[in-house]
Structure 1
Amino acid sequence: MGDDKNFEDELKEGGAAGAASALDPRGEQLHAASGGDDKVLRMGTASIPRLITEFAIPSVVGMLINGSYAIIDSVFLGHAVGEIGLSAMTVANPIMVVFMAIAMLVGNGGNALAALRLGEGRREEAERALGNVVSLSLIMAVVVAFLGWFPASTDWLLNLSSATDEVRPHAAVFIQIICSGFILQCIGLGVNNFIRTCGAPNRALGTMVIGLVSSVAFNYLFVIVMGWGVAGSGLATVLGWGCSCVAVLWYFCVKTDAPLRLRLGALPLRLRMDGTIMAYGFPSFCIQAGMAIVNFVLNFQLVKHGAASPIGADDALATIGVVQRIAQFSIMPLVGISIALQPLLGFNYGARKVDRVRKTLWYGIGAATTISIIMFAMVQLFAAPIAQAFGIKHDGLVDFTAFAIHLQFLMLPFVGFQIVGANYFQATGQPAKSIFLTLTRQILFLLPLLYLMPLWLPAVAPSYDGLDALLFAMPIADFLSIFTTALFVGWEMVRLRRLSRQSAH
């Protein structure tokens, strides 16, 4: 299904008529293939703005909830432990992002494949994708748990994340606890997306709300009341994932009217399907893995240039850690929009409904841009109060954090377009393009700038030191990646218009 040439050939040869008949106005053929499930069928027939609204609201809220775990941990630790707790979270953050990348690699990839197969009327294959995602998650969880508790690998990760001697023991404890609960994150986050593809976005949101509320309660109990510090925060996060995991498994294993069921017969791995899952999920993996690589490099540069500035290395880690939390949180609703669009784009692309694919993309871009502008206004207006909410109290540190927030988010109003545009190619079975566009923002542009800006900016503007110069890298990288995505999306619109004309003849 990811083959554009096959798509064009089917339309030219009349295959589109047969494929589209699976979603004819009466819905008869897909009714037979999908068991008469109206929640699935409506993705190819109902009002696009209404579908996007229905799917996007719980998806956006759900991603905000998912992003809130790191925010909650940081807020509780900042007030209970101080800057050292925030520094420990900054060191642990790249490792946590890697774990999320692995969960999204199999979860988003399997979900994209399931949406395409449902659009083609192949329910059994969609269920096999669900089962294989669970099996792959179990295998990866065993590997992660082993690495987390193997001293040599833990030390290597801490060195890679530039942990200082004071921060190191706190970050190590947090990482080990998170590694132990990784399977709960895989199911609670990765498999959760299948509920949305089943046409139940509100239930998908509910499973995430359960996890967040539980995490807040456990954080308050373990960190504030019992004084367990970083270890308590890690345990609270894992237990929150566990509550979400139970809710997700209940839907697929116990609920009898779910469009997809988690069956034992679907669990055995199928190498060809698993390869497709990995290919479709790789763009999502690249987003998170790229973020992790950037964080590793950024931590190294922060320690290096922070030690040479009046702020110091540990406070630089704490400050930029706060900015990273806000950045990740502000991106979450945009990722939520792209995730909400994924089943709609995939289903209609699989059903050869080209006009609906185009409309879905542009409505999604409009929604993401609106959210981007709102988030931009909030962080620009309330930069200093946001810094103080994380437990940063020193006036000089608050001012530096506010300056970093103002600068880092300059291009935020346009980032929604870039994220939705890159995800479009993943949802429609064109992973290579999606991977490239994802890498432009996180790797191809940002990483070189993190090294170049501290060398170049102080030379041309002596009022800025190396630590200040690091902050300019992100908005420049954002601009370059947005421009590149615009070129790809523009060419894709030309291609879809051509396909639409061919299918009409």
Structure 2
Amino acid sequence: MGTASIPRLITEFAIPSVVGMLINGSYAIIDSVFLGHAVGEIGLSAMTVANPIMIVFMALAMLIGNGGNALAALRLGEGRREDAERALGNVVSLSLLAAVVVLFIGWNPVLVNGVLDLASATEEVRPYALTFIQILCSGFLLQCIGMGVNNFIRTCGAPNRALGTMVVGLASSVAFNFLFVIMLGWGVAGSGLATVLGWGCSCATVLWYFCGRTDVPMRLSVRSMVPNVPLIVTILGYGLPSFCVQAGMAVVNFVINFQLVKYGALTPIGADDALAAIGVVQRIGQFTVMPLIGIAIALQPLLGFNYGARKVARVRKTLWYGIGAATSIAVVMFAGVELFAVPIAHGFGIKHDGLVDFTAFALRVQFLILPFVGFQIVSANYFQATGQPAKSVLLTLTRQILFLVPLLYLMPEMLPSLAPGLTGLDALYFAAPVSDLLATGTTAVFIAWEMVRLRRLARLCAQGAEA
């Protein structure tokens, strides 16, 4: 990682990472497609209510897994293998603890119903969403290890094997969804069970890599799993930016659901169908962002290793190549959404013409600034990979919360007065592109200053080498 061609390394690491993140994003899409066709709009509405909770689960997995992986990459770059193994072991221990907490919340009637209230579940949708959430809570440990620990396989220099563990999980989920939802007619419960079993298959292959092999840079052992408080604090600190990306999405989803129920009830579409439409937008939104996050994750070990080794020129080159790759993917995703918005709505089982048109409109508006989002995500992750988590957290929050949440409240109130043809429900979707534009500008300022700092660091390293 410290000497090979940067473009070749990025390609080698990014392709499996991007495909892997697309696979992670495909779980929710698969559930929605099967439920949309088998159950109808009520199934999509239930998924929309459950979506912020599912994002929280992913956020916890990334908090633990990405934080530990970032630390392990830095330690390997410094030649400290035992410390890298301790990071891996403590990630597994944290996953066990998080799974107990999630299980308690999911099966505590007061707590889980409070979460459903926060997600703006209507009385018709609530039973379906409750069933789905409780099943996912029961299998959270499998997701946390299957997704979080998977990133360590990339740091071990085996990105294709990391991808293979994800493919196993997704293929299993598709097969179980078809069996449980289509063949057996188990509906929402079948979809939730299929998702958990898919996580389980992925988890098994990840654990086998670290426990069943001896030719890996890091191994998982009982000794490495002994909790170390300072190490855990460092892992959580490094993982906080990744957590904020997903947790920010969850907060936004809670707010959007509330606003949808509020403004959807004032239109002929209605609250439940508005939830179904936003469910499609959310699934596609997560899917389009996943490859961009995949690029950022793929760059993490390269940036961390070279920054730890003080190879500043390679750090800069990795960052700019990564931004170029993410932007290219974002442009392709943007074109796909704009051109195929209507077929996408049909693909999720939406049949009513008015709802199809509204869903297509929402898709096109939501992703207006998508070509610039790759720069923002990769740049924010750069600060995490180089041991500057506070900056990464701040930049992540600008896009996910600091700009977007206020706009979700302001747009429905202000935009209809400026454009009388738009309803409050229509205006709600303009919040995302405006937020993306503001966040990209803020990130550009931070990156410009970071380039100045790296030039200074390079000069200091050169002077030290001469001395």
Tell me which interval the TM-score lies in, with the shorter structure as reference length.
over 0.9
Secondary structure in 1 matching 2:384: helix
Query: For each residue in 1:229-272, what CA deviation from the matched residue of structure 2 results, as whole angstroms up to 9, or x when unmatched?
Result: 00000000000000000000000000110110001110111000
Deviates more, 1:186-195 or 1:491-500: 491-500
Q: Which residue of 2 aligns with 1:32?
A: none
Q: Which residue of 1 aligns with 2:99?
A: 141
Q: Which residue of 2 aligns with 1:210?
A: 168
Question: How far apart are the structure 1 equivalents of 2:423 and 2:340?
Answer: 25
Question: How far apart are the structure 1 equivalents of 2:129 and 2:369?
Answer: 32
Q: Which residue of 183, 197, 200 maps to 1:239?
A: 197
Task: Give the letter for the 1:412 counterpart.
Answer: L
Q: Which residue of 2 aligns with 1:35?
A: none
Secondary structure in 1 matching 2:123: coil
Residues 174-323 of structure 1 aligned to structure 2 (within 5 Å): 174-323=132-281
Secondary structure in 2 matching 1:256: coil
Task: Give the letter for the 1:333 counterpart.
Answer: P
Task: Give the letter for the 2:342 counterpart.
Answer: A
Q: Which residue of 1 aligns with 2:412?
A: 454
Indicate whether 1:418 and 2:380 are aligned.
no
Question: How far apart are the structure 1 equivalents of 2:174 and 2:139?
Answer: 17
Q: Which residue of 1 aligns with 2:26?
A: 68
Q: Which residue of 2 aligns with 1:29?
A: none
Task: Give the letter for the 1:377 counterpart.
Answer: A
Question: How far apart are the structure 1 equivalents of 2:439 and 2:89?
Answer: 36
Secondary structure in 2 matching 1:117: helix
Indicate whether 1:379 and 2:362 are aligned.
no
Secondary structure in 1 matching 2:59: helix
Question: How far apart are the structure 2 equivalents of 1:198 and 1:96?
Answer: 28
Question: How far apart are the structure 1 equivalents of 2:337 and 2:422?
Answer: 23
* Deviation of 1:503 (Å): 1.7
Question: How far apart are the structure 2 equivalents of 1:258 and 1:138?
Answer: 23
Question: How far apart are the structure 2 equivalents of 1:502 and 1:247?
Answer: 44
Structure 2: give runs of 5+ residues left out of the alignment. none
Query: For each residue in 1:52-108, what CA deviation from the matched residue of structure 2 results, as whole angstroms up to 9, or x when unmatched?
Result: 000000000000000000000000000000000000000000000001101110100
User: Considering only aligned residues, what root-mean-square deviation do their CA atoms show, in Å?
Assistant: 0.5
* Deviation of 1:501 (Å): 1.9
Q: Which residue of 422, 427, 440 maps to 1:464?
A: 422
Question: How far apart are the structure 2 equivalents of 1:366 and 1:338?
Answer: 11
Task: Give the letter for the 1:378 counterpart.
Answer: G
Q: Which residue of 1 aligns with 2:68?
A: 110
Task: Give the letter for the 1:287 counterpart.
Answer: V
Q: Which residue of 2 aligns with 1:24?
A: none
Q: Which residue of 2 aligns with 1:8?
A: none
Question: How far apart are the structure 2 equivalents of 1:75 and 1:229?
Answer: 12
Indicate whether 1:498 and 2:459 are aligned.
no
Structure 1: give runs of 5+ residues left out of the alignment. 1-42
* Deviation of 1:499 (Å): 1.2
Question: How far apart are the structure 2 equivalents of 1:391 and 1:475?
Answer: 26
Q: Which residue of 2 aligns with 1:122?
A: 80
Q: Which residue of 390, 393, 400 maps to 2:351?
A: 393
Secondary structure in 1 matching 2:127: helix
Question: How far apart are the structure 1 equivalents of 2:462 and 2:134?
Answer: 58
Task: Give the letter for the 1:57 counterpart.
Answer: I
Question: How far apart are the structure 2 equivalents of 1:479 and 1:386?
Answer: 25
Q: Which residue of 1 aligns with 2:361?
A: 403
Indicate whether 1:350 and 2:308 are aligned.
yes
Q: Which residue of 2 aligns with 1:482?
A: 440
Query: For each residue in 1:465-487, what CA deviation from the matched residue of structure 2 results, as whole angstroms up to 9, or x when unmatched?
Result: 11001011000000000000000
The structure number with the bigger radius of gyration is: 1
Secondary structure in 1 matching 2:268: coil
* Deviation of 1:310 (Å): 1.1
- Number of residues paired by the alignment? 463
Indicate whether 1:79 and 2:37 are aligned.
yes
Question: How far apart are the structure 1 equivalents of 2:165 and 2:157?
Answer: 15
Task: Give the letter for the 1:157 counterpart.
Answer: V
Task: Give the letter for the 2:102 counterpart.
Answer: V
Moved over 4 A (4+): none
Q: Which residue of 1 aligns with 2:326?
A: 368
Secondary structure in 2 matching 1:464: coil
Instruction: State, as a whole percentage, how many aligned pairs show the same letter.
Output: 78
Question: How far apart are the structure 1 equivalents of 2:267 and 2:399?
Answer: 28
Task: Give the letter for the 1:140 counterpart.
Answer: A
Q: Which residue of 2 aligns with 1:51?
A: 9
Query: For each residue in 1:348-370, what CA deviation from the matched residue of structure 2 results, as whole angstroms up to 9, or x when unmatched?
Result: 11111111100000000000000
TM-score when normalising by structure 1: 0.91
Question: How far apart are the structure 1 equivalents of 2:34 and 2:134?
Answer: 19
Question: How far apart are the structure 2 equivalents of 1:103 and 1:326?
Answer: 21
Query: For each residue in 1:165-198, what CA deviation from the matched residue of structure 2 results, as whole angstroms up to 9, or x when unmatched?
Result: 1000000000000000000000000000000000
Query: For each residue in 1:315-335, what CA deviation from the matched residue of structure 2 results, as whole angstroms up to 9, or x when unmatched?
Result: 000001100100000000000
Query: For each residue in 1:367-410, what CA deviation from the matched residue of structure 2 results, as whole angstroms up to 9, or x when unmatched?
Result: 00000011011111100000100000111111111111110000
TM-score when normalising by structure 2: 0.99
* Deviation of 1:502 (Å): 2.2
Residues 140-159 of structure 1 aligned to structure 2 (within 5 Å): 140-159=98-117
Question: How far apart are the structure 2 equivalents of 1:478 and 1:258?
Answer: 40
Secondary structure in 1 matching 2:61: helix
